[in-house]
Amino acid sequence: MNMVPSVVRGFAEAVRSIVPRNKWCEAVICAPFVDLHVASRVLWGNHINVGAQNISEYERGAYTGEVSGEMLRDLGVKYVIVGHSERRQYFGETDVTVNKKVKTAIEAGLMPIICVGESLEQRDMGVTEELIRYQVKTAIAGVPTEKIRKIVIAYEPIWAIGTGRTATPEDANEICKLIRAVIRSLHGARVARATPILYGGSMNEKNAYDLLAQPDIDGGLIGGASLVPEKYAAIINAANQEE
């Protein structure tokens, strides 16, 4: 929850000018609802896509305060974050709610970025793998194979968000590899290989290269570092593993 619309215009213009157009990385800015119209206007037709941070599980109707997928798409939004840990922690979103939002997003023509991840307590209990399997299976339950290609999954270890802590590249890759294995078991190897899997645990301009060098980490869900255009551009440049 950062930046008012009047500030977003300058931020989006700075990002547009500093972030390189490249073939190895698709860039997305996920803005708060009230900022989306400005971000979409500045970035429209550019090499940076616009995403939302949340979506209603309902298509339309008497749900005051909610924002539907159709509304988002009409603003030029292409992606939407679903099931972020803060939505789960502060606003009571459950795995069942996440599944409903995933389906609603896909039906609206949006690509959901599905967040899964464990808390420090769950990690210490040794239930990380079981939890991740459950979260992934529940999130995509009932989604047909041909539409699995329209999703992105982000491993978001809650214990590493905003704490300055981050999993080692190898540890992060193991969980991303597990996520891919779950998709493979449900929808086959071809779909699993084509599904982008991101790491979202305090990725920044300093650790991005090593994390993105891992075979099963396809990108990053960036938090605080995305608020500074120069840092955001550095992370995108780190996706170029040919350097």
| CA angle at 34 for the pair 28 and 37, rounded to the nearest 5° | 60
Q: What is the token pair recorded at 135?
A: 């979260």
Where does residue 225 fall: left (phi above 0), alpha (psi -120 to 50 degrees), or beta otherwise? alpha
Residue 120 pLDDT grade (very low, low, confident, very high; cuts 50, 70, 90): confident
Total residue length of the chain:
243
Cα pseudo-dihedral 110, 76, 47, 111, rounded to 10: -10
With contact defined as beta carbons under 8 Å apart, do 108 and 72 qualify? yes
User: What is the distance between the alpha carbons of residues 170 and 168, in angstroms, rounded to a whole number?
Assistant: 5
Q: Output 19 or 52, whichever has higher pLDDT.
A: 52
pLDDT at 96 over 70: yes
The confidence score (pLDDT) of residue 141 equals 98
User: What is the distance between the alpha carbons of residues 158 and 45, in angstroms, rounded to a whole number?
Assistant: 34
The confidence score (pLDDT) of residue 240 equals 82
The confidence score (pLDDT) of residue 243 equals 54
Identity at 14, one-letter amino acid code: A
The confidence score (pLDDT) of residue 95 equals 97
List pLDDT tens digits, range 137-162.
Answer: 999 999 999 999 899 999 999 888 76
Half-sphere exposure of 146 (CA within 13 A, CB side): 1
Integer angstrom CA distances of residue 234 from 48, 95, 183, 239: 15, 33, 30, 9
Identity at 124, one-letter amino acid code: D
Active-site residues: which are they?
84, 156
Residue 181 pLDDT grade (very low, low, confident, very high; cuts 50, 70, 90): very high
pLDDT at 22 over 60: yes
User: What is the distance between the alpha carbons of residues 136 and 214, in angstroms, rounded to a whole number?
Assistant: 20
The confidence score (pLDDT) of residue 25 equals 85
The confidence score (pLDDT) of residue 144 equals 96
How many CB atoms are located within 10 Å of the residue 116 CB?
Answer: 26
Superfamily of domain 5-232: Aldolase class I (3.20.20.70)
User: Per mean pLDDT, which range of 36-40, 70-74, 156-160 is the poorest?
Assistant: 156-160
Q: Residue 201 carries which DSSP code?
A: S
pLDDT at 165 over 90: no
With contact defined as beta carbons under 8 Å apart, do 204 and 164 qualify? no
Percent of the chain with pLDDT over 90: 84
The confidence score (pLDDT) of residue 160 equals 81
Q: What is the mean pLDDT of the chain?
A: 94
User: What is the distance between the alpha carbons of residues 215 and 140, in angstroms, rounded to a whole number?
Assistant: 23
Percent of the chain with pLDDT over 70: 97
Q: What is the token pair recorded at 34?
A: 């009230």
The confidence score (pLDDT) of residue 175 equals 96
List pLDDT tens digits, range 210-236.
Answer: 999 999 999 999 999 999 999 999 999
User: What is the distance between the alpha carbons of residues 104 and 101, in angstroms, rounded to a whole number?
Assistant: 5
Q: What is the token pair recorded at 6?
A: 């009047």
Report the pLDDT averaged over residues 19-23.
76
The confidence score (pLDDT) of residue 161 equals 75
Integer angstrom CA distances of residue 138 from 11, 26, 130, 153: 36, 27, 12, 13
Report the pLDDT averaged over residues 107-130.
94
Report the pLDDT averaged over residues 197-204.
92
